[in-house]
């Protein structure tokens, strides 16, 4: 049996290869036949360039159908795909290339596909074992230096199959895809589901709310980061009718504000389905398709995923989330030390996310372990305070950080998008929270710094406000 992920995906392509695979913004259509031929030709070109099984193919290229074909061609020849954020600078890219030593570095997938045009498509799919590497994903690194998470064909295939089932993919589904494809969310989660379904994808180069609105009547499933949904809600054209054709809106990569969840439901009558995942394990938990989708909760572990808190604390205890299961990566590329640090002796990956689990299994995330503030010896979880602040009048959203403090070690600082009175905000927080959790200082800003996937970069905020309590 061939455990190559491409073999699994290709086995689900529609028998009629003239069926649409990608619907492009300009009206052009790439059929499954076109995809298969393009992948076969690129696979032939990779081989001609000396790329062999186990070699890395690094790609920092715009989102085009050809870059998707290149991903699949890399799988097909048994090489390891290494996508890089298009925003990375030359110096950043150099670090990844030095670390991963790819055989090939591609910046223009369209030119590569042109070069492959005259070649006979490779029909063979490299016989991969489930444990062979399919991809290395460098973590987006909101703290510290980026590490390469090694994902195998088996890791990705098991997650794709579990999600296809959990989210109820069915004949007729059309995926609206406006995510970047240099990250797990757009590349693996979204595309594997729809390729397993043999269905069409509305392929948008980037998220533009007006463009998404224009395509929504043709789509049934959308996957996005929270920012997509706040931007849609800011567009008056996003109405109940505009969303009526959609079967499900899925959200993840960063926490979805409860206010966004509520506003979305009020506007469309639909509840966003929030899920939780990471480069190291793809999707870990999801709210149910049928059943309660609860604001602020990331739902239940996917079938096959074992999840526990802090080595096995009782239900309801807040601590670091640990996971084990078929989608969990095997380690960090050429970094056995970091790999050893991040796994427990019994093989659970220590995610670094802090959360709790209800007795029925439902999971709630309260932040990152690294974001934990220790003020005067007390542990303070920023999320708890952010939830209170976000409800206050004039507050769009908030980020709570710890800043060095001569007396408390760290003191709680709130950075708020919006306007208001510092004293009133601190007073309101004190009414709901223990005094040590209330911010000692409030800053008002126009925007919070975010990375490409919409995650707030608290490390930048900590750096910016680190001198708050000096002298
Ligand atoms: P990445 O590896 O770039 O996908 O980032 C993974 C991290 O994103 C996780 O460890 C979480 O901290 C965060 N994350 C992903 N989905 C969610 C979610 N639904 N709610 C809260 N945090 C999330």
* Nearest-angstrom CA–CA distance, 221 and 270: 12
What is the reported pLDDT for 184? 96
pLDDT score for 407: 82
Domains, the chain = 5-363 (3.40.50.12780), 372-464 (3.30.300.30)
Q: Give the separation between CA 187 and CA 339, rounded to whole angstroms.
A: 24
Say if strands 20-24 and 409-418 run parallel, antiparallel, or are unpaired: unpaired
pTM for this predicted structure: 0.89
Closest CA to 329 of 153, 192, 73: 153
Give the number of the atom of ligand 1 that is nearest the alpha carbon of residue 365. Answer: 21
Confidence category of residue 349, pLDDT binned at 50, 70, 90 = very high
Q: How confident is the model at residue 304 (pLDDT cuts 50, 70, 90)?
A: very high
Q: What is the mean pLDDT of residues 289-318?
A: 96
Q: Express the helix, strand and coil content of the chain in percent, nearest 5 each.
A: 30, 25, 40
Encode pLDDT of 385-406 as tens digits. Answer: 999 999 999 999 999 999 988 8
Instruction: Give the H/E segment covering residue 405.
Output: strand 395-405
Cβ atoms of residues 32 and 195 within 8 Å: no
C-alpha of residue 232 to centroid of ligand 1, in Å: 21
Task: Compute the half-sphere exposure of residue 358: CA atoms within 13 Å on the CB side of its CA.
Answer: 10
Contact residues for 248 (Cβ-Cβ < 8 A; gap 6+): 167, 168, 220, 221, 222, 270, 273, 289
The CA 428 to ligand 1 mean position distance, Å, reads 29
Ligand 1 atom closest to Cα of residue 368 = 12
Distance in angstroms (rounded) separating the CA atoms of residues 322 and 349: 5
What are the tens digits of pLDDT across the range 190-246? 999 999 999 999 999 999 999 999 999 999 999 999 989 999 999 999 999 999 999
Three-class DSSP category at 20: strand
Reported as a pLDDT band with limits 50, 70 and 90, residue 337 is very high
51 within 8 A of 131, measured Cβ to Cβ: no
Backbone angles phi, psi at 360, to 5 degrees: -85, 5
List, for residues 244-279, the tens digit of each pLDDT value.
999 999 999 988 989 899 999 999 999 999 999 999
Q: Tokens 């990844």: give the residue.
A: 96
What's the CA-to-centroid distance between 284 and ligand 1, angstroms?
10
Residue in the structure block whose two tokens are 């499900």: 248
Q: Which residues line ligand 1 (CB under 6 A)?
A: 139-140, 184, 252-255, 274, 276-279, 298, 351, 353, 365, 368, 453
Q: How far is the CA of 458 from the centre of ligand 1 (A)?
A: 14
* DSSP calls for 323-391: EESTTS--EETT-HHHHHHHB-TTS-EEEEEEEEE-TTS-EEEEEEGGG-EEETTEEE-HHHHHHHHHT
Atom of ligand 1 nearest to the CA of 149: 2
Q: Which residues contact 1 (CB under 8 A, 6 or more apart)?
A: none
Using DSSP's 3-state secondary structure scheme, residue 417 falls into strand
Q: Which residue's C-alpha comes closest to atom 4 of ligand 1?
A: 278
Quick check: 145 pLDDT over 80?
no
Distance 342 CA to ligand 1 centre (A): 16
Angle between helices 65-76 and 109-116 (to 10 degrees): 60
DSSP 406: T
If you measure from the C-alpha of residue 275 to the centroid of ligand 1, how many angstroms do you get, rounded to a whole number? Answer: 9
CA of 254 to the centre of ligand 1 (A): 5
- Given a cut of 80, whether residue 377 has pLDDT beyond it is no
Q: Whose CA is nearest to atom 6 of ligand 1?
A: 278
Least confident among 1-15, 136-150, 314-328, 443-457: 136-150
Token digits for 445? Answer: 């800003």
Is the pLDDT reported for residue 133 higher than 90?
A: yes
CA dist list (Å): 417 to 18, 39, 239, 397: 49, 46, 26, 5
Instruction: State percent of the chain over pLDDT 70.
Output: 99
How far is residue 339 CA from its own chain's centroid? 21
pLDDT digits (tens, 9 = 90+) for 90-118: 888 999 999 999 999 999 999 999 999 99
What is the per-residue DSSP string for 420-467? --HHHHHHHHHHHS-GGGS-SEEEEES---B-TTS-B-HHHHHHHTTT
pLDDT at 140: 63
Mean pLDDT score, 328-349: 96
- How many angstroms separate the CA atoms of 95 and 2, rounded? 34
pLDDT of residue 470: 87
Please give the residue that has the higher pLDDT: either 419 or 300: 300
User: What confidence tier does 142 reach under pLDDT thresholds 50, 70, 90?
Assistant: very low
Q: Ligand 1 mean position to 454 CA, how many Å?
A: 10
Probe ligand 1: pick from 228, 278, 297, 451, max atoms within 8 Å of CB?
A: 278
Residue nearest to atom 7 of ligand 1 (CA): 278
At 406 the pLDDT is 83
- Going by alpha carbons, the residue nearest to atom 20 of ligand 1 is 255
pLDDT band at 144 (very low <50, low <70, confident <90, very high): low
Atom 23, ligand 1: residue with shortest CA distance: 254
Mutate to test the pocket of ligand 1, among 83, 229, 254, 307 (most ligand atoms within 8 A of CB): 254
Distance, CA 351 to ligand 1 centroid (Å)?
Answer: 10
How many Cα atoms are found within 13 Å in the side-chain-facing hemisphere of 226? 22
Which residues sit opposite 356 in a β-bridge? 364
């Amino acid at each position: 049996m061939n455990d190559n992920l491409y073999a699994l995906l290709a086995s689900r392509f529609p028998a009629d290869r003239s069926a649409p695979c990608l619907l492009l913004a300009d009206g052009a259509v790439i059929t499954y036949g076109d995809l298969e031929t393009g992948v076969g030709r690129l696979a032939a070109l990779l081989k001609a360039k000396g790329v062999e099984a186990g070699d890395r193919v690094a790609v920092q290229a715009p989102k085009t159908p050809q870059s998707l074909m290149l991903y699949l061609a890399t799988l097909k020849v048994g090489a390891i795909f290494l996508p890089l954020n298009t925003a990375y600078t030359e110096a950043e890219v150099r670090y990844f290339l030095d670390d991963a030593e790819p055989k090939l570095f591609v910046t223009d997938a369209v030119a590569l596909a042109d070069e492959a045009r005259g070649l006979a498509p490779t029909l063979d799919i490299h016989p991969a074992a489930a444990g062979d590497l399919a991809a290395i994903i460098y973590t987006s690194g909101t703290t510290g230096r980026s590490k390469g998470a090694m994902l195998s064909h088996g890791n990705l295939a098991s997650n794709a199959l579990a999600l296809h089932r959990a989210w109820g993919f069915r004949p007729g589904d059309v995926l609206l895809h406006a995510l970047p494809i240099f990250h797990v969310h757009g590349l693996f989660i979204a595309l594997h589901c729809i390729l397993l379904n043999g269905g069409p994808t509305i392929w948008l180069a980037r998220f533009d709310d007006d463009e998404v609105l224009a395509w929504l009547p043709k789509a049934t499933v959308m996957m996005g980061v929270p920012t997509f949904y706040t931007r849609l809600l800011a567009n008056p054209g996003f109405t109940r009718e505009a969303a009526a054709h959609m079967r499900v809106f899925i959200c993840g990569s960063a926490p979805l504000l409860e206010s966004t969840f509520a506003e979305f439901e009020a506007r469309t009558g639909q509840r966003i389905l929030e899920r939780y995942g990471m480069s190291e394990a793809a999707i870990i938990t999801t709210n149910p398709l049928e059943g309660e989708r609860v604001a602020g909760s990331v739902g239940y572990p996917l079938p096959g995923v074992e999840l526990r808190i802090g080595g096995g604390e009782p239900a309801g205890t807040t601590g670091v989330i640990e996971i084990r299961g078929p989608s969990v990566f095997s380690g960090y590329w050429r970094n056995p030390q970091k790999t050893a640090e991040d796994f427990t002796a019994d093989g659970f990956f220590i995610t670094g996310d802090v959360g709790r689990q209800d007795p029925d299994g439902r999971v709630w995330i309260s932040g990152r372990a690294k974001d934990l503030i220790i003020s005067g010896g007390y542990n303070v979880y920023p999320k708890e305070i952010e939830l209170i602040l976000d409800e206050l009048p004039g507050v769009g959203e908030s980020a709570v950080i710890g800043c060095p403090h001569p007396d408390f070690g760290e003191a709680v600082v709130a950075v708020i998008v919006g306007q208001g009175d510092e004293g009133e905000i601190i007073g309101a927080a004190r009414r709901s929270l223990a005094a040590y959790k209330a911010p000692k200082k409030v800053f008002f800003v126009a925007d919070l710094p975010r990375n490409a996937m919409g995650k707030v970069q608290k490390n930048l905020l900590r750096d910016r406000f680190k001198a708050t309590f000096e002298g």
